[in-house]
Homo-oligomer: A and B are copies of this chain.
Amino acid sequence: MTKPKGSTAKSDRTRLAIESAARELFASYGFERTTVREIARVAGIDASMIIRYFGSKDALFALVAMPDLRLPDLGEVDRGKIGETLVRHFIEQWEGSEGGGGLPILLRSASSNDDAAKKLAEIFAAQVLPALARAGDPATAANRAGLVATQILGLALTRYVLKLPPVVAMSIEQLVDDVGATIQRYGTGER
């Protein structure tokens, strides 16, 4: 084993440095184009340490690409402001520090990595779907969650991954207004 009994070891700093570098590079370049040597360079240690600490590149990716969307309880927010609430929640998380909670990391790699795509699907099934089940007829929850996914992931893709100029240029408030109205309609099932 590589792990001692306690967690007060001096090596925890290295461990965190590796995780931090991995998060940054995976988010910027995706899984395939991020090399363990580059992660090691940013973390300031040797590439072989990464294997010893985490077992493999895949294991390290699986560890840092576990997004927790931290969705609010939609049963407690104003029925008419579900869309606005959701969009603001996502944007503020993405705009915030440390890679926006891991979802951009997954999104970067999901297009060319089947495991990442599968994990993204699980995230939506496990977090978005149950949250939306409380915001309308549970029988149509999967349908509504799918529509929400097309718009939320499309927003994340164009603004943070592709960086399409007109989408990047828009203010948070405008996005909350325009996209929020769409999510409101998709999420609740209202016409």
B-contacting residues of A (Cβ < 8 Å)? 29-30, 32-33, 107-112, 117, 120-121, 124-125, 142-143, 145-147, 149-155, 157-159, 161-167, 169-170, 178-179, 181-182, 185-186
> Across the interface, do B154 and A166 meet the contact criterion of CB distance under 8 Å?
no
Known: A33-B112, A112-B112, A147-B178. 12 other contacts (CB 8 A): A32-B32, A108-B112, A110-B162, A111-B111, A111-B112, A142-B165, A143-B170, A145-B166, A146-B166, A150-B179, A151-B151, A153-B157
A112 / chain B contacts, CB cutoff of 8 Å: 29-30, 32-33, 108-109, 111-112
- Given known contacts A112-B32, A161-B111, A166 and B142 CB-to-CB distance under 8 angstroms: yes
- Given known contacts A111-B109, A154-B151, A146 and B164 CB-to-CB distance under 8 angstroms: yes
- Given known contacts A121-B162, A164-B124, A165-B121, A151 and B182 CB-to-CB distance under 8 angstroms: yes
- Given known contacts A124-B164, A162-B117, A186-B178, A169 and B146 CB-to-CB distance under 8 angstroms: yes
